[in-house]
C-alpha cells in the first residue's frame, strides 16, 4: 500500500518567487496536515484539512502561505513571494480520523526540502 | 511559545542498555501524546501513543510513561538496538482545547553504540 507522497523532494528557488508543494495522502484518510521543520526547530503546524470542513489555517505564518485540498485528496501548499526564512523541510501527514486513541496516528510523507536563495 | 519541550538534543546509549527520552509540556489540557521516530531524509513515523487516562503504555521494547501532575512523559527503549538510532519527537494535543493542532518538541537524537 502506498504511503503519503510529496513532490518535489527538493526545491531551490530565488527569493520573491512563488512555489507549490504537493502532497498525496494515503487513500481513504480524511485528515491532512501540513508542517514545516526549520533547522533546529520542532515540527511547526501550518494547516489542517478534515473531510469537507473548512481548513484550520491557524498555523500559517503569514498571508503568503495558502493551501488547498482538491476533492478531499491531493493537497497543494503554495508560498508566494518566498523569503529566505521560508527555507525548511515541509512535511505533509494524513490520518484516518480525529477521534479515539490510535486513530489519530499521522502518517508522514518524506517531506519537501525548500531552499530559498 | 514552545508548549512541548525536549530538553536533551542528543543522547548516546550502549547497545543492550535502556534509552530514556524525556518530554515536558506546559498545557495542562493536553490529553493525547505520541512519540515519532525520524530517520534522516525520511518523514517521521509513529511509534507509540498514550492518552491521559493512562500512565503507561507498552509496545514491545517501547514503553511510554505519563506523569500528568509533573506534565512529563518519557519513552523507554529496552534493550536499545543500533537500529533505534534516530531522532525522536514527542507530540501532544487536546482536541477540546487546541483543536486540530498537534504540538511537537524539537526532538532528541538518539545514538545507540554497538
Instruction: Give A64-86 pLDDT, tens digit per residue.
Output: 999 999 887 899 999 999 999 99
| A111 with B43: Cβ contact below 8 A | yes
Q: Which helix H or strand E contains B107, and what residues bound it? A: none
d(CA B93, CA B46): 15
Whole-angstrom distance, CA of residue B44 vs CA of residue B86: 10
pLDDT higher than 70, residue A102: no
Mean pLDDT of A14-18: 97
Residue numbers of chain B with a pLDDT score lower than 50: none
A28 touches chain B (CB under 8 A): no
Q: Which three cell numbers stand for residue B61?
A: 521494547
Could you give the residue ranges of the DSSP H alpha helices within chain B? 95-98
pLDDT in tens, A35-65: 998 876 778 889 988 877 778 888 899 999 9
pLDDT at residue A103 in the model: 43
- Distance from C-alpha of B93 to C-alpha of B102, rounded to nearest angstrom: 5
Contact status, residue A43 vs residue A17, Cβ threshold 8 Å: no
Note whether A48 contacts B34, CB cutoff 8 Å: no
Any CB–CB contact under 8 A between A107 and chain B? yes
Amino acid at each position: 500500500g502506498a504511503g503519503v507522497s510529496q513532490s518535489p523532494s527538493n526545491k531551490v528557488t530565488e527569493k520573491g518567487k512563488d512555489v507549490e508543494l504537493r502532497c498525496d495522502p494515503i487513500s481513504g484518510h480524511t485528515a491532512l496536515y501540513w508542517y514545516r521543520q526549520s533547522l533546529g526547530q520542532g515540527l511547526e503546524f501550518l494547516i489542517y484539512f478534515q473531510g469537507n470542513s473548512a481548513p484550520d489555517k491557524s498555523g500559517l505564518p503569514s498571508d503568503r502561505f495558502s493551501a488547498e485540498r482538491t476533492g478531499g485528496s491531493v493537497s497543494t501548499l503554495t508560498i508566494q513571494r518566498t523569503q529566505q526564512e521560508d527555507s525548511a523541510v515541509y512535511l505533509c501527514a494524513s490520518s484516518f480520523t480525529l477521534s479515539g486513541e490510535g486513530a489519530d496516528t499521522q502518517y508522514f510523507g518524506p517531506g519537501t526540502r525548500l531552499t530559498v536563495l | 511559545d514552545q508548549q512541548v519541550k525536549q530538553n536533551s538534543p542528543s543522547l548516546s546509549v550502549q547497545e543492550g542498555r535502556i534509552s530514556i527520552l524525556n518530554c515536558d509540556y506546559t498545557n495542562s489540557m493536553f490529553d493525547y501524546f505520541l512519540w515519532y521516530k525520524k530517520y534522516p531524509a525520511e518523514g517521521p513515523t509513529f511509534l507509540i501513543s498514550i492518552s491521559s487516562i493512562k500512565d503507561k503504555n507498552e509496545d514491545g521494547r517501547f514503553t511510554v510513561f505519563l506523569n500528568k501532575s509533573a506534565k512529563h512523559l518519557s519513552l523507554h527503549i529496552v534493550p536499545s538496538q543500533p537500529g533505534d538510532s534516530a531522532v525522536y519527537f514527542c507530540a501532544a494535543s487536546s482536541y477540546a482545547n487546541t483543536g486540530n493542532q498537534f504540538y511537537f518538541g524539537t526532538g532528541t537524537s538518539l545514538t545507540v553504540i554497538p
